[in-house]
Amino acid sequence: MTSAIDFVYHEARLIDEKRFDEWYELFTDDALYWMPLTRDQPIGETHTSLFYEDKLLLKVRIERLRHPNAFSQQQPSFCQHVLQQPAVVESGEQQCVLRTPFLYAEAQLDQQIVLAGVAFHHLRSHAGQWKIQMKKIELLNRESALPSIQLLL
């Protein structure tokens, strides 16, 4: 089995290379991709989040990016993660949690935004492979008025 740390690097690389179908397969069926809006925000849909996506919504997002009438992507965006080495903060036989500070740049023609944050990967072992049960992203400037964030952190 790939080490959990390598898995986290691999996951970011799939996004940066827009290999979204492969990326989608990294998630368990009950997975959650979550970017809370506030600090110390409890999990759950009664709180407004920036992302709170199950696999259905992730699929919609991926399919939309390929849609010929995704007008905001007529000029495509590209992104680049720069990860600090992931640290294993919880580990067990079948699951572990990693904490990964990161920088994320998203570029679209003449515009580029740079975001910073910390990602938490909650991984579960599944048929000899790591799968993501939850990816939680704590954005540094989540109180800011943010521009469009069009790809995936």
- Residues of this chain that bind other proteins (CB under 8 A): 35, 37-38, 44-52, 56-57, 59-61, 63-64, 67-73, 143-150
Tokens of 68: 């010929």
Tokens of 8: 């986290």
- Closest approach of other proteins to the CB of residue 145, in Å: 4
- Closest approach of other proteins to the CB of residue 148, in Å: 5
Nearer to other proteins, 8 or 35 (CB): 35
Nearer to other proteins, 9 or 24 (CB): 24
**DSSP element (H, E) containing 138:** strand 129-139
- Closest approach of other proteins to the CB of residue 152, in Å: 9
The dihedrals phi and psi of 37, each to the nearest 5 degrees, come to: -90, -35
Count of positions (residues) in the chain: 153
Contact call for residues 64 and 152 (beta carbons, < 8 A): no
Nearer to other proteins, 58 or 96 (CB): 58
- Closest approach of other proteins to the CB of residue 59, in Å: 6
Nearer to other proteins, 51 or 130 (CB): 51
* CB environment 113-123: b (16+ within 10 A), e (fewer): bebebebbbbb
